[in-house]
């Protein structure tokens, strides 16, 4: 049931032929040319259907289709090599050796600098604002952190000792296929090399350069891209809810509105699969999607073991990015504007109600109603949103995976954890939980993920005493203690302070939640575990590496 990729444009083309007059014919030819080029180069496979053949199997058996997603690796848009999301205009160029060498060349040829350092007495301390200090630090970082793309440095400032300099920079991780930037600041000890040039003789860890922490408002020599001026601060993640503003704007819009369906309170993979179907239909119809930001988190992710309503989409996903990628309006805003319009005007807003998913998106394409309102009142499984995208519709609707990224607030925790290990770690994903207990579907999983079995398996794959990050749904913290005599073991719970009540995450999510603290739940844990795992150098998966059992139960692989 792979989504066909090439046929979407053909019917549109035929319709266009009928509509466009001869005058416009050359425009049309040009458009077809472009569409053809796009069709050839732009063929995003649906990432899940690519990566998890077993899901295909699930979707062909739509009856009671459930998504067993309690322990899988949770991939979202930033993890796939999809057509890159449109980067904002402020995307920075990586600082490579070429860039540094150019800068150095300009510096020396202009001779605005003092004599080289050997002539001075370093006992007075290093002049951290000397551009040559920054160059030494940039080279040092490039050599040390190969998995990082450095984007922008601030001018180094004094550390706590005369030969120390603190410097901050923005970076991306090569493993993340988004343009999002993260921030680090470290402390460096500066000395002199044989050639009298500055040299880094030591560096401290993640976020050690506290004097450089404050973003500097002024552009600096290090800030070589003159277009960038505003400092990047994450307290400014802008995931406010957009407003429609005025009655006329509201009336002019075209909306696609989905009532809550049977998807509510199902697992998160089911949620994404359905949500992206709806968003894909909205894009196909060239309509604004009316979005319910309130999410029901299924029991398997909740410490309480119960479904919990009233979770905010923004706890889990990047709403700012979604706003940039897709046309959406928040449900409550939308309903308020709709009511207000109908109260103030004799002519009501035209609404087309659609009772069943069996009315296809293609049948709605020509509908001019302001609002198309899909209802999902049939009994399960007839009331799942994603059923709209089945059958013929699958040829026309593409799920916009690139619009769905993980929450930047969670990704900051991911950077923090991998940064604390200097991005130099290996990772193992250990699936246990319900699957390990279900001997019928996964007969060997429990034994193959016992501490002894993991130790003996890993010894052939990972060098002793490496940093080893264990992504797992095993709740017992000491379960992996046997590995500690071979590796430097890191578990998510070792980093509790990153979401504890003194953390940025806590502060920001509390604010988002109207002042009430937000539980750090199992889905957030799984998102972070996934992303840290992906950043590991050697990655060992449970299925295919630790055990020969199949991911989705016996005989599914």
Ligand X SMILES: *[C@@H]1O[C@H](CO)[C@@H](O)[C@H](O)[C@H]1NC(C)=O
Nearer to ligand X, 347 or 516 (CB): 516
Task: Name which of 232, 66, 60, 208 is nearest 151 in CA terms.
Answer: 232
Contacts 24+ apart (CB under 8 A), 198-201: 198/117, 198/126, 198/130, 198/132, 198/133, 198/135, 198/136, 199/136, 200/136, 200/137, 200/140
Angle at 275 between CA 271 and CA 280, to 5 degrees: 150
Question: Does 254 sit near ligand X (CB under 6 A)?
Answer: yes
Question: Does 242 sit near ligand X (CB under 6 A)?
Answer: yes
Nearer to ligand X, 103 or 273 (CB): 103
d(CA 466, CA 457): 15
**Which part of the chain contacts ligand X (CB under 6 A), choosing from 52-60, 187-195, 237-245, 269-277?**
237-245
Shortest separation between residue 288's beta carbon and ligand X, angstroms: 8
Distances (CA, A) of 267 to 150, 259, 409, 417: 37, 18, 22, 26
Task: Name which of 187, 39, 47, 50 is nearest 126 in CA terms.
Answer: 187
Question: Does 240 sit near ligand X (CB under 6 A)?
Answer: yes
Residue 206 neighbours by CB under 8 Å, 6+ apart: 184, 186, 416, 419, 420, 422
Using CB under 6 A as the binding criterion, the count of chain residues that bind ligand X stands at 33
**Which part of the chain contacts ligand X (CB under 6 A), choosing from 3-11, 31-39, 126-134, 416-424?**
126-134
d(CA 480, CA 486): 11
Question: Does 260 sit near ligand X (CB under 6 A)?
Answer: no
Q: Which of 26, 89, 109, 485 binds ligand X (CB under 6 A)?
A: 109
The 190-229 contact track toward ligand X, x by CB under 6 A, reads: ----------------------------------x-----
- What is the rounded radius of gyration, in angstroms, for the C-alpha atoms of the chain? 27
288-291 β-sheet, strand order: 328-330, 288-291, 255-258, 371-374, 351-354
d(CA 170, CA 429): 29
Shortest separation between residue 515's beta carbon and ligand X, angstroms: 6
Nearer to ligand X, 450 or 507 (CB): 507
**Which part of the chain contacts ligand X (CB under 6 A), choosing from 31-39, 85-93, 124-132, 332-340?**
124-132
d(CA 291, CA 342): 21
d(CA 233, CA 284): 35
Beta-bridge mates of residue 330: 291
Cβ–Cβ under 8 Å, residues 244 and 333: yes
Query: Which of the residues 485 through 504 are near ligand X (CB under 6 A)?
Result: 501
Q: Which of 116, 220, 369, 510 binds ligand X (CB under 6 A)?
A: 510
Other beta carbons within 10 angstroms of residue 22's beta carbon come to 7
**Which part of the chain contacts ligand X (CB under 6 A), choosing from 52-60, 125-133, 344-352, 490-498?**
125-133
Question: Which residue number has the CB closest to ligand X?
Answer: 125
Shortest separation between residue 460's beta carbon and ligand X, angstroms: 8
Q: Which of 106, 248, 437, 459 binds ligand X (CB under 6 A)?
A: 106
Nearer to ligand X, 224 or 444 (CB): 224
Residue 94: both structure tokens together: 């990586």
Residue 113 neighbours by CB under 8 Å, 6+ apart: 107, 130, 131, 132
Q: Which of 56, 116, 129, 299 binds ligand X (CB under 6 A)?
A: 129
Shortest separation between residue 108's beta carbon and ligand X, angstroms: 9
Shortest separation between residue 242's beta carbon and ligand X, angstroms: 4
Query: Which of the residues 13 through 72 are near ligand X (CB under 6 A)?
Result: 63-64
Question: Does 286 sit near ligand X (CB under 6 A)?
Answer: yes
Helix crossing, 408-420 with 504-512: angle to 10°?
170
**Which part of the chain contacts ligand X (CB under 6 A), choosing from 121-129, 170-178, 341-349, 525-533?**
121-129
Q: How far is CA 1 from the centre of its chain?
A: 26
Query: Which of the residues 448 through 477 are near ligand X (CB under 6 A)?
Result: 461
Query: Which of the residues 142 through 171 are near ligand X (CB under 6 A)?
Result: 158, 162
Question: Does 139 sit near ligand X (CB under 6 A)?
Answer: no
Left, alpha or beta for 537 (phi > 0: left; psi -120 to 50: alpha)? alpha
Shortest separation between residue 179's beta carbon and ligand X, angstroms: 17
Task: Name which of 197, 205, 406, 399 is nearest 319 in CA terms.
Answer: 406
Nearer to ligand X, 274 or 343 (CB): 274
Residue 278: both structure tokens together: 């709806």
Shortest separation between residue 125's beta carbon and ligand X, angstroms: 3
Shortest separation between residue 138's beta carbon and ligand X, angstroms: 11
Distances (CA, A) of 142 to 13, 14, 151, 358, 362: 50, 53, 11, 56, 52
Q: Which of 278, 413, 468, 540 binds ligand X (CB under 6 A)?
A: 540
The 397-416 contact track toward ligand X, x by CB under 6 A, reads: --------------------
**What 3-state class would DSSP assign to 56?**
helix
- 18, with CB counted inside 10 A (0-12, 13-18, 19+), is exposed
Nearer to ligand X, 70 or 130 (CB): 130
Question: Does 130 sit near ligand X (CB under 6 A)?
Answer: yes
Which residues of this protein are in contact with ligand X, per CB under 6 A?
63-64, 99, 102-103, 106, 109-110, 113, 124-125, 127, 129-130, 158, 162, 224, 238, 240, 242, 254, 286, 323, 461, 501, 507, 510-511, 538, 540-541, 544-545
């Amino acid at each position: 049931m792979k989504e066909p990729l090439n046929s979407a444009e053909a019917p549109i083309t035929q319709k266009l032929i009928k509509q466009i007059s001869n005058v416009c014919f050359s425009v049309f030819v040009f458009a077809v040319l472009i569409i053809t080029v796009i069709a050839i180069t732009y063929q995003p496979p649906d990432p899940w259907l690519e990566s998890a053949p077993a899901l295909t199997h699930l979707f062909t058996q739509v009856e009671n289709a459930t998504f067993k997603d309690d322990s899988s690796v949770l991939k979202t848009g930033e993890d796939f090599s999809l057509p890159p999301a449109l980067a904002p205009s402020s995307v920075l160029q990586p600082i490579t050796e070429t860039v540094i060498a150019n800068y150095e060349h300009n510096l020396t040829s202009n001779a605005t600098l003092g004599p080289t350092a050997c002539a001075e007495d370093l006992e007075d301390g290093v002049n951290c604002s000397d551009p040559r200090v920054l160059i030494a630090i940039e080279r040092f970082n490039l050599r040390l952190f190969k998995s990082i793309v450095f984007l922008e440095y601030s001018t180094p400032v004094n550390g706590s000792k005369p030969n120390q300099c603190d410097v901050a920079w923005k970076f991306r991780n090569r493993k993340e296929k988004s343009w999002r930037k993260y921030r680090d600041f470290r402390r460096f000890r500066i000395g002199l090399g044989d050639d009298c040039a500055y040299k880094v003789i030591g560096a401290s860890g993640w976020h050690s350069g506290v004097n450089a922490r404050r973003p500097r408002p002024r552009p600096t020599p290090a800030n070589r891209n003159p277009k960038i001026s505003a400092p990047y601060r994450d307290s400014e993640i802008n995931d406010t809810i957009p407003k429609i503003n005025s009655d006329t704007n509201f009336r002019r819009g075209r909306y696609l509105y989905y009532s809550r369906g049977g998807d509510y309170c199902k697992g998160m993979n089911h949620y994404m699969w359905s949500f992206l179907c709806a968003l894909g239909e909205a894009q196909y119809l060239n309509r604004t999607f009316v979005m319910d930001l309130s999410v029901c988190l299924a029991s398997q992710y909740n410490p309480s073991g119960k479904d919990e309503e009233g979770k905010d989409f923004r706890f889990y996903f990047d709403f700012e990015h979604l706003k940039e990628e897709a046309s959406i309006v928040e449900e409550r805003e939308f309903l308020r504007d709709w009511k207000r319009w109908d109260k103030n005007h004799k002519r009501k807003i035209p609404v087309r109600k659609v009772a069943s998913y069996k009315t296809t998106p293609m049948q709605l394409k020509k509908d001019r109603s302001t609002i198309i309102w899909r209802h999902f009142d049939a009994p399960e499984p007839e009331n799942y949103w994603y059923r709209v995208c089945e059958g013929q519709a699958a040829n026309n609707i593409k799920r916009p995976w690139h619009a769905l990224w993980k929450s930047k607030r969670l990704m900051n925790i991911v950077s923090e954890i991998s940064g604390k290990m200097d991005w130099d770690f290996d990772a193992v994903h250990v699936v246990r939980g319900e699957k390990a207990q279900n001997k019928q579907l996964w007969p060997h999983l429990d034994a193959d993920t016992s501490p002894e079995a993991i130790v003996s398996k890993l010894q052939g794959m990972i060098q002793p005493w490496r940093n080893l990050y264990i992504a797992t749904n095993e709740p017992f913290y000491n379960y992996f203690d046997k590995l500690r005599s071979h590796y430097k073991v890191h578990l998510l719970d070792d980093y509790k302070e990153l979401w504890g009540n003194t953390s940025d995450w806590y502060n920001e999510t509390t604010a988002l939640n109207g002042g009430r603290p937000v539980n750090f739940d199992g889905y957030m844990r799984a998102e972070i575990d996934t992303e840290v795992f992906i950043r590991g150098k050697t990655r060992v998966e449970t299925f295919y590496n630790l055990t020969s059992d199949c991911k989705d139960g016996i005989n599914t692989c």
